Amino acid sequence: MIQGTGSSVGKSVIVTALCRIFLQDGFKVCPFKAQNMSLNSFVTKDGGEMGRAQVVQAQAARIEPHVDMNPILIKPVSDVNAQVIMQGKPVTNMRPKAYYSNRKKLLKGVVDSFSRIKKTHELIVIEGAGSPAEINLRKNDIVNMHMAHIARSPVIVVGDIDKGGVFASLVGTLELLSKRDKKMIKGFIINKFRGDKSLLEDGLRFLEKKTKRPVLGVVPYFKDIKIPEEDGVALERGKIEAKNRKAINIAVIKLPHISNFTDFDSLETEPDVKLSYIDEAKNLNNQDVIIIPGTKNTIADLAWLKKSGLERQILSVINSRPQTILIGICGGYQMLGQTIYDRLKIESASQKIKGLGLLPVKTSLESKKMLLQARAIHISSGLEVNGYQIHHGRTIALSRLNPMFRIKNKECFDGAQNNDGRIWGTYLHGVFDSYAFRRDFLNRVRMSKGIRPLAVKNDGCSLENEFNKLADLVRKNIDMKLLYKILGSKK
């Protein structure tokens, strides 16, 4: 089990690396995280919803993602309320006290999922959440030390040296655990190190002497390995920008409850794209593409869009700059319509809000959630795309509609576009992950700017390559013999 001194220290990435390393070493390996809090989710082939981090880890292990790998997913709707997904299906919206009062039922679901995985895999790499030393959460814990005891799993604690105070964090984490929990901790990994490792030697020796536990390794900070990130913290660090003067400027509106922002990771891999996350109206000028992304609270985020002045600026840019394209994904698609209703108060206390009025559709949020892996055809180009839908909204046309996609595996249409195709929306997450469609879309933008299109080549963004690069990096920088010894394996 990989636990951490806090959130965003690199637990998910280390688990991903270990899944690929153990696969390379001949194990049938599977990731597991009992409880995940994230607005980035994914739909499995059998229509279940789970956190994207475990999806990526499953891909690293070359197995099909399944909701048993993440039996509980918590999706915050507001600061004090969240939707609870259990074994792939939404249960209800809960406040923290209600969630904790259901601990026994939730824990049973966790144990059932773990037991099923245990029967079919040789090695399970478990990810913790936050820190096991959060004393206020210890009583109701089902994801950190309690899970370690259920699984009888040795625990490696990861600390992020880039944040500062890594030795205090590691020692402090251990000191705040009970004697029973301390026995589960078998070593440490220091993550995100920059510089000369020899300068760490004194600190490493002190840590090992103080805790009587080994440091398995020091993993360098890296920028050249592209693994999808789960946490919104990634948005705070800024994004890679193309240096090409003729770059396509794409702005993603950074909604307060933005979800599935990994929809745009593939755009960043393109050499001619400068992608930015924008939350101020003044930064929308001179954008070639504006994207309103998915959200876990459509009405609240649309109200914020209006209050912040971004709605007014988006409409101004669309009206004054005829080459700018406006796209809405999922909740963003709903915002482009005429009206959004939430009569059942599924996401918000407000039951109705006026949309941007740019597409002839209206949306009602319903209790049943749409979960679908979709194989689709882009109607204008005939290109195939793959994606997935996760939404409570039911969107209907108010007049004749020009749909964006035809869903092949459900024989229905998706999305809408205006007459010139410059404003469009879709419920398909991951639509830009399909290389041919992505490149065709970007080339159309280039041509509208008077720039020659780029040749369509093989997709250079191969996750397989990235997983192998990550595994190589981690394997070179941690003591795998010691790790296998901790696991009790002769490998």
188 in Cβ contact with 156 (< 8 Å): yes
- Cβ neighbors of 439 (< 8 A, separation 6 or more) are 270, 454, 456
**Residue labelled with tokens 């004697």:** 179
Decide if 429 is catalytic: yes
184 in Cβ contact with 145 (< 8 Å): yes
Beta bridge partners of 30: 124
Burial of 326 (0-12, 13-18, 19+ CB in 10 A): buried
Distance CA 50, CA 36 (A): 9
- The residue from 66, 257, 378, 429 that is catalytic is 429
- In the DSSP assignment, the letter for residue 284 is G
Nearest to 143 by CA among 130, 153, 152, 125: 130
How far does CA 157 lie from the centroid of its chain? 22
- In the DSSP assignment, the letter for residue 241 is B
Burial of 259 (0-12, 13-18, 19+ CB in 10 A): buried
- The residue from 146, 330, 378, 391 that is catalytic is 330
Query: How many CB atoms lie under 10 A from the CB of residue 443?
Result: 18
Beta bridge partners of 391: 370
The SS3 of residue 395 is strand
Decide if 121 is catalytic: no
15 in Cβ contact with 167 (< 8 Å): no
Distance CA 133, CA 169 (A): 10
Distance CA 341, CA 363 (A): 6
- Cβ neighbors of 121 (< 8 A, separation 6 or more) are 28, 29, 30
277 in Cβ contact with 252 (< 8 Å): yes
Residue 47, sorted as left (phi over 0), alpha (psi -120 to 50) or beta, turns out to be: left
Residue 91, sorted as left (phi over 0), alpha (psi -120 to 50) or beta, turns out to be: alpha
Positions marked catalytic: 330, 429
